[in-house]
């Protein structure tokens, strides 16, 4: 009896040691046609190193998924039961999440971590809030695969371009006065017919005008859009012989070349054109219209894959749903620069409790300590190599393409052994624990 008891205690100690060290993950890749080809894609290079697979030079590599979502699960070598999905492993070992996370979200990760490599614009889209997500999942489960909301953060790995949120009322007036093709599409003699005569009514009326025009564009027939875009393209190609086109005009020509006769090209005129430098981030809340245009980024979001599309896509569109849900905030979105935690680490704190992201760049021989936190973390190594050491664990080598799951309440140290070790950590928003 005593020997059996000792064996049981030894097994429990071994289990505790295993559950207190980083676990290596094998991740999923998405080959959407907007992704970069072959080794030009950072996603392809990371996935190849992570999985040991060959890079197909003719294949598009768009997204690397890290997490528990069923559409792209990560897998772990379970020391107690062979290969299993990360979600299955967490369900068997829920203590790794920490008490507060387990109580709030159950035995699952509330966030999803990705890398995106974009060659061609993604669809104009929005993500539903929780109430709408539940309704859409119930009514169209094949299209909306879960019942969760999907606020997200995009953190630029390279120069990054996106459309996000409606333009200001001042910019709306400019568009109406400088793009005659819009007036032709929506009807009317000139822009002044759409602009309020009374300055006191300016804001309310212009807001209604913006919503009306955006709706009319997306609901126009493909033939009508094709006709109007041909005129717009012809005019801009003449104009660029006389003057430098604006950034938005150049973007319209790019989008038209990627998505001919697509209403999303015209709709893009009414969304903010955002350019991020490396290390800058953009937050996108529920029901906000947006589209990623070009570049590579780290993306973190609530665990969901719900997308309502309306333009710049060959996939199924749900225009009426998108128009009914859109958030009406106007003006240029905030660009997040991050908060410095130490000389190597910057934290990006979105206004969403499910997640935060740390960006860490270590020069050769430098070390950084990630303190113990009450929730789990996912670590992604973008470039370089080094070591990681954690509580109750020996040091492990880490390098580009490695992805690790770190349990709650584990302090760990990372040391660079290359010119630059570049990594990202996704975890529960620290404000959640403070609250």
Tally the domains of the chain: 3
Q: Cα–Cα distances in Å, from 262 out to 178, 251, 312, 313, 420? A: 21, 14, 6, 8, 43
In a domain, 170, yes or no: no
Q: Crossing angle, helix 202-219 and helix 169-178, to 10 degrees?
A: 60
Nearest to 96 by CA among 394, 382, 427: 427
Query: Residue 206: how many CA atoms within 13 Å on its side-chain side?
Result: 24
Q: Do 142 and 255 belong to one domain?
A: no
Q: Do 27 and 105 belong to one domain?
A: yes
In a domain, 88, yes or no: yes
Q: Cα–Cα distances in Å, from 308 out to 4, 120, 319? A: 57, 19, 8
**In angstroms, rounded to a whole number, what is the distance separating the alpha carbons of residues 72 and 110?**
15
* pLDDT (0 to 100) of residue 5: 52
In a domain, 10, yes or no: no
b/e 216-249 (16+ beta carbons within 10 angstroms → b):
ebbebeeeebebbbeebbeebeeeeeeeeeeebb
Which run of H or E residues covers position 156?
A: strand 152-156
3-state secondary structure 99-154: HHHHHHHCCCCCEEEEEEEECCCCCEEECCCHHHHHHHHHHCCCCCCCCCCCCEEE
Contact 399, 381 (CB under 8 A): yes
Tokens of 203: 């804001």
In a domain, 343, yes or no: no
Q: Do 181 and 250 belong to one domain?
A: yes
Domain that holds residue 421: 353-434
In a domain, 7, yes or no: no
Q: Do 112 and 48 belong to one domain?
A: yes
* pLDDT (0 to 100) of residue 55: 97
**In angstroms, rounded to a whole number, what is the distance separating the alpha carbons of residues 239 and 246?**
11
**In angstroms, rounded to a whole number, what is the distance separating the alpha carbons of residues 427 and 372?**
12
Residues of the chain with pLDDT under 70: 1-19, 78-82, 188-206, 327-330, 391-393
* pLDDT (0 to 100) of residue 203: 60
Contact 101, 408 (CB under 8 A): yes
Looking at 230, 245, 266, the residue that finishes a domain is 266
Nearest to 39 by CA among 122, 117, 106: 117
Q: Do 121 and 252 belong to one domain?
A: no
* pLDDT (0 to 100) of residue 223: 96
Tokens of 214: 């955006």
Tokens of 309: 């599309």
* pLDDT (0 to 100) of residue 393: 67
Looking at 217, 232, 266, the residue that finishes a domain is 266
* pLDDT (0 to 100) of residue 349: 96
Contact 328, 211 (CB under 8 A): yes
Q: Do 312 and 199 belong to one domain?
A: no
SS3 195: coil
Q: Do 301 and 201 belong to one domain?
A: no
Which run of H or E residues covers position 204?
A: helix 202-219
**In angstroms, rounded to a whole number, what is the distance separating the alpha carbons of residues 336 and 279?**
9
Residue 204: which CATH number? 1.10.441.10
Pairing of strands 124-126, 308-311: antiparallel
DSSP of 164-189, one letter per residue? EEEPPHHHHHHHHHH-HHHHHHH--S
Q: Do 250 and 288 belong to one domain?
A: no
In a domain, 6, yes or no: no
In a domain, 132, yes or no: yes
- List Cβ neighbours of 143 (8 Å cut-off, separation of 6 or more): 136, 316, 318
Nearest to 382 by CA among 296, 271, 272: 296
Contact 203, 169 (CB under 8 A): yes
Q: Do 283 and 332 belong to one domain?
A: yes
Q: Do 30 and 160 belong to one domain?
A: yes
Nearest to 210 by CA among 259, 181, 175: 175
pTM comes to 0.91
Residues identified as active-site = 309
In a domain, 5, yes or no: no
Q: Do 31 and 136 belong to one domain?
A: yes
**In angstroms, rounded to a whole number, what is the distance separating the alpha carbons of residues 88 and 260?**
44
Strand partners, 379: 404, 425
Residue 50: which CATH number? 2.60.120.10
Query: Residue 135: how many CA atoms within 13 Å on its side-chain side?
Result: 8
Looking at 241, 266, 291, the residue that finishes a domain is 266
Q: Do 249 and 132 belong to one domain?
A: no
């Amino acid at each position: 009896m005593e020997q059996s008891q000792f064996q049981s205690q030894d097994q429990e100690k071994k289990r505790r040691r295993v559950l207190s060290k980083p676990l290596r993950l094998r991740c999923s890749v998405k080959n959407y046609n907007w992704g970069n080809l072959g080794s030009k894609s950072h996603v392809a290079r990371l996935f190849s190193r992570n999985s040991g697979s060959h890079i197909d030079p003719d294949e598009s590599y768009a997204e690397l998924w890290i997490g528990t979502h069923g559409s792209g699960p990560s897998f772990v070598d379970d020391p107690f039961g062979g290969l299993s999905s990360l979600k299955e492993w967490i369900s068997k070992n829920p203590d790794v999440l920490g008490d507060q996370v387990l109580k709030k979200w159950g035995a699952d990760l509330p966030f999803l971590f990705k890398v995106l490599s974009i060659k061609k614009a993604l669809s104009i889209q929005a993500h539903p809030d929780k109430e709408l997500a539940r309704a859409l999942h119930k009514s169209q489960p094949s299209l909306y695969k879960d019942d969760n909301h999907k606020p997200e953060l995009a953190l630029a790995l390279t120069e990054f371009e996106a459309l996000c949120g409606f333009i200001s009322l001042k910019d709306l007036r400019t568009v109406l006065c400088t793009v005659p093709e819009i007036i032709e599409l929506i009807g009317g003699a000139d822009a002044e017919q759409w602009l309020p005569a009374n300055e006191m009514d300016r804001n309310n009326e212009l807001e209604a005008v913006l919503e009306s025009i955006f709706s009319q564009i997306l609901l126009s027939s493909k033939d009508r859009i094709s006709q109007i875009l041909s005129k717009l393209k012809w005019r801009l190609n003449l104009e660029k012989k006389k003057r430098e086109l604006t950034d938005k005009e150049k973007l319209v020509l790019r989008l038209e070349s990627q998505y001919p006769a697509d209403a999303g090209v015209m709709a893009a005129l009414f969304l903010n054109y955002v350019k991020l430098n490396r290390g800058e981030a953009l937050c996108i809340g529920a029901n906000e219209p947006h589209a990623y245009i070009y570049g590579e980024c780290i993306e973190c979001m609530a665990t969901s894959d719900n997308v309502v599309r309306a333009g710049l896509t060959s996939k199924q569109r749900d225009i009426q749903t998108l128009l009914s849900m859109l958030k009406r905030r106007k003006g240029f979105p905030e660009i997040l620069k991050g908060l410095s935690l130490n000389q190597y680490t910057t934290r990006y704190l979105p206004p969403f409790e499910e997640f935060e992201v740390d960006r860490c760049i270590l020069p050769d021989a430098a070390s950084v300590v990630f303190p113990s936190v009450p929730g789990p973390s996912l670590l992604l190594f973008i470039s370089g190599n080094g070591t990681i050491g954690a509580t109750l664990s020996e040091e492990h080598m880490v390098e580009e393409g490695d992805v690790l799951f770190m349990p709650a309440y584990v302090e760990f140290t990372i040391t660079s052994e290359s010119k630059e070790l570049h990594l990202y950590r996704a975890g529960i928003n620290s404000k959640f624990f403070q609250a």
